[in-house]
Amino acid sequence: MSNATPDTPRPPAGRAGMKKELPERFRAYRHVWVFIELERGQVHSVSFELLGEGRKLADKLGVQLAGVVLGPPEEATQNAVAQAFAYGADLVYFVEAPLLADYRNEPFTKAMTDLVDTYKPEILLLGATTLGRDLAGSVATTLLTGLTADCTELDVDADGSLAATRPTFGGSLLCTIYTLNYRPQMATVRPRVMPMPQRADRAIGRVIVHKLSLAEDEIVTKILGFLPDSQSGTANLAYADVVVAGGLGLGGAENLQLVKSLARAIGAEFGCSRPLVQKGWMPADRQIGQTGKTIRPKLYIAAGISGAIQHRVGVEAADLIVAINTDPNAPIFDFAHLGIVTDAVRFLPALTEAFTRRLSPHSRDKLAS
């Protein structure tokens, strides 16, 4: 039986009840790091998007923004260092070794964790790509720190903690997660969630070179060859300027042809909401939303899509959102720039015909320019 009375103070619930003071061993951790994802000579654009976001965090904290480049001794690796500075890095941590020619979890995890243990960043950001997700989970586990995956927003709290926001409960809610008592605070962000910063030609600044203390015979995984994905590039939703998508409001799989016809008429990519992939009406690489592709087009036309949170976070960065739905209370109308309350199955053919009449083949390619 409890002896508490109504006047007995209770410990605050949630984050307020947690210990905010960092353990002594973490107090020297400073600066914001961004992993520059380099694969087969190309830097993934999400790295530049994260440099733009990292710049904001570093400025709020009054610390430096650093890029982390891991790669083989090739010209492309040196170019990645230069690009990190061009997109805003103050300095670059650089590990160059033949073992890093192709991504393998063991050498990349070893390189990154050695850097963190030596130079002690307070925040480490990685792209939520196939490579980035694999590396982030391994690094966080090795360092015994927290990792917030697939973030849609990053900020710094009043006490200097990283506030990482992501959807939860199947995309029905947004929650903000803190790593209060461990460092570094780690987060991954999917491509196209954050805006691309302006590139500026800058001289290469301070580069801190670190040696990889690992031999090939210590690595279990071996590279036998490289087979490119024959399906890669078939759906370019994330980088399309115009996107047309359909949802359950279309009524049946056969009506997705209306979405594809409109997309073809205006030179757009086409996609769908999650339920259509779950029903097998479209392949997963056409899914738009938190569990699919995040897009930032100049024009997004959503036909028969209700606009649940998990879909909203994948499209709300579009410059112009046009929603077509029979339900005037559909959530998508809360964030669409233009809403049309009508049956998409009847409206899309008329819209396609109107675009076809007004747009020449040349102007279709420039619709979003």
The string of pLDDT tens digits covering residues 345-360 is 999 999 999 999 888 6
Residue 64 annotated as binding site:
no
Residue 219 annotated as binding site:
no
Is the model more confident about 289 or about 10?
A: 289
- pTM score, whole prediction: 0.83
Residue 251 annotated as binding site:
no
Residue 306 annotated as binding site:
yes
- Measure the CA–CA gap between 216 and 220, rounded to whole angstroms: 9
Confidence at residue 6, expressed as pLDDT on a 0 to 100 scale? 47
Please determine whether the domains at 22-218 and 234-368 fall in the same fold group of CATH. yes
Most confident of 18-27, 110-119, 187-196: 110-119
Share of the chain above pLDDT 70, in %: 89
Residue 310 annotated as binding site:
yes
Query: Is pLDDT above 70 for 189?
Result: yes
- Tens of pLDDT, residue by residue over 16-67, are 455 567 888 999 999 999 999 999 999 999 999 999 999 999 999 999 999 9
Residue 36 annotated as binding site:
no
Domain boundaries, the chain: 22-218, 234-368
CATH number of 22-218: 3.40.50.620
Query: Is pLDDT above 60 for 176?
Result: yes
What band does 368 get if pLDDT is binned at 50, 70 and 90? Answer: low
Share of the chain above pLDDT 90, in %: 80
Residue 309 annotated as binding site:
yes
Residue 305 annotated as binding site:
yes
Residue 231 annotated as binding site:
no
Query: Who's near 162: CB < 8 A, 6+ residues apart?
Result: 57, 122, 123, 154, 155, 156, 178, 179, 185, 187
What CATH topology corresponds to 234-368?
Rossmann fold (3.40.50)
Query: Is pLDDT above 90 for 226?
Result: no
Residue 304 annotated as binding site:
yes
Confidence at residue 8, expressed as pLDDT on a 0 to 100 scale? 46
Most confident of 10-14, 288-292, 348-352: 348-352
